[in-house]
Structure 1
Amino acid sequence: MDEDRLYHDPELADFYDLENGWERSPDFACCKTLAEGAESVLDLGCGTGALAVALAGGRTVVGVDPAPAMLAIARGKPGAEGVDFVEGDARTLRLGRRFALVVLTGHAFQVFLTREDRAAVLATIAAHLAPDGRFVFDSRNPACREWEEWGPEASMRLVDHPRFGPVAAWNDVAHDAATGIVTYGTHYEIRATGKRLSAVSRIAFPEKAELETLIAGAGLRVDRWLGDWEGNDWQPGTPELIPLGGLA
């Protein structure tokens, strides 16, 4: 997995919260509900820490991310002192601790491009899950071909950055049918100066059948497959693949 400038470059990472609006998202709300009654939470791929900080207070929360630029933003958030932020790779992380809830949201699972990498991440989840704990992660349903909506015209938008002012933003995208990997560019052009910031990212779209095999191989079980973060069950054509379960 190559280092992605979208998360590792401090200037680009500074756009993450503006673009994602975590506190308004259904995955944010769902994870808060799942955390009720959980005395400890591990947030893998915690990014800028919005979810981890929201879950802190009255429980142990550890947020893990491989990108120092994202963690720097996370540690500067109000309430960040309630979270133990750790720089680490979800494929190899071993904290020697177990948690009541392990979450991997924001489609972070899709940055793992090979079957072997995905198996390693699931092994990490299993290694950190308490005997009666639960896990949840999300991956876009490849059948929906969401990447087709990520072209320059459809993705063109204006972002109001607190330091840069108005910033034009857009994406471009290419899909490799042989591997299922989508390569997309993210571009920001600062209106005041004309400066452009760009990054190229790659994500995978594994099929549900593969996820089922890998999850079982990691010693995990799925109690329920969700098709979206609003709590609807998975069925062909739903936008998400969201397994919710525990140790087998």
Structure 2
Amino acid sequence: MEQDRLYQDPDLADFYDVENVWSADQDCCRSLAEGCASVLDLGCGTGWLAAALAAEAERAVFGVDPAGAMLDIARARPGGDRVTWVRGDGRSVRLGRRFDLVVLTGHAFQVFLTPEDQLAALRTIAAHLAPTGRFIFDSRNPAVEEWREWTPETSAHRIDHPRFGAVDAWNDVEHNPATGVVTYGTYYRIVADGRLLSSRSRIAFPPRPQLEALIGQAGLAVDTWLGDWTGAPWTPASRDHIPLGRLLRS
């Protein structure tokens, strides 16, 4: 897993909450967290979901992310003081405790580029699940080829940023058919002074059979495959693979 300026650079990280709104994935995770005494948000980013889960009930919430700039935002947000924030790698972090629910949202699973890294992340989930706990994560369906929407022509938009003012934003993209890895650029040009902030990111698009095999190897079992965060069942045309499951019972 590579260091990504999109999340590590404080100026770029400051765009995350502006570009992303509360959506169905957070609603789904809040519903799953009902009755849970503990939740682990693995790849918590700016901590929006973790802080909300900690605020709405008396539960222990941990947020783990490798990006210090994202965690700085998480700690400063309202309710951030109720979450235990940990800077850590999803492949190797071990917190020494288990949770009723482990979530990995925002397609964060796709930063693990190889089957070996994906298996390591899944083993991290398994290592932190309580015997009756559940896990859920999302990964884009490669059959949909969503990366085709990330060209400069289709992605260009203007942002009204609270700190930078008007900002022109766009992406570009490259797909490696041999590896399935997509490399995309993120660009923000600040209108007031012309300054350009940019990053290049790499993500994987593992197919469902690969995910199924790795989930089993990690000691996990899937109860339901969802096709989106509203709860629709998975089909080959679904935009996402979303497994909802538990520890594999021997």
Name the structure 1 match of 2:207. 207
Is 2:30 the counterpart of 1:32?
yes
- Identify the residue that residue 12 of structure 2 maps to in structure 1: 12
| 4+ aligned runs moved over 4 Å, structure 1 | none
Separation in 1, partners of 2:213, 2:2 = 25
Q: Runs of 5+ in structure 2 lacking a partner?
A: none
Alpha-carbon separation, structure 2, partners of 1:109 and 1:79 = 25
TM-score (structure 2 length as normaliser): 0.98
Query: 5 Å matches for 1:83-102?
Result: 83-102=83-102
Residue in structure 2 matching 1:53, options 51, 54, 66: 51
Where do 5+ consecutive residues of structure 1 fail to align?
none
Q: Partner amino acid for 2:114?
A: T
Equivalences for residues 152-231 of structure 1 within 5 A = 152-231=152-231
Aligned equivalents of 1:179, 1:107: Cα separation in 2: 18
State the AA in 2 paired with 1:52: A
Q: CA deviation at 1:37?
A: 0.6
SS at match of 2:3: coil
Q: CA RMSD in A?
A: 0.5
SS in structure 2 of the partner of residue 244 of structure 1: strand
- 2:42 matched to which residue of 1? 44
Q: Deviations over 1:198-231 (max 9, x none)?
A: 0000000000000000000011000000000010
What amino acid does structure 1 have at the position aligned with 2:222? V
**Tell me, what secondary structure is at the counterpart of 2:212?**
helix
- CA apart distance, 1:44: 0.3
Partners of 2:237 and 2:174 in 1: CA distance: 22
Identity of aligned residues (%): 66
User: Which residue identity lines up with residue 69 of structure 1 in the other structure?
Assistant: A
Distance 1:240 1:209 in 2: 14
SS across alignment from 2:228:
coil
Q: Give the Cα separation in 1 of the matches to 2:111 and 2:47.
A: 18
Shift of 1:163: 1.2
Count of residue correspondences: 246
| TM-score under structure 1 length normalisation | 0.99
Q: Distance in 1 between matches of 2:53 and 2:98?
A: 17
The one-letter code sitting in structure 1 at the alignment partner of 2:48 is A
CA distance in 1, matches of 2:89, 2:107: 15
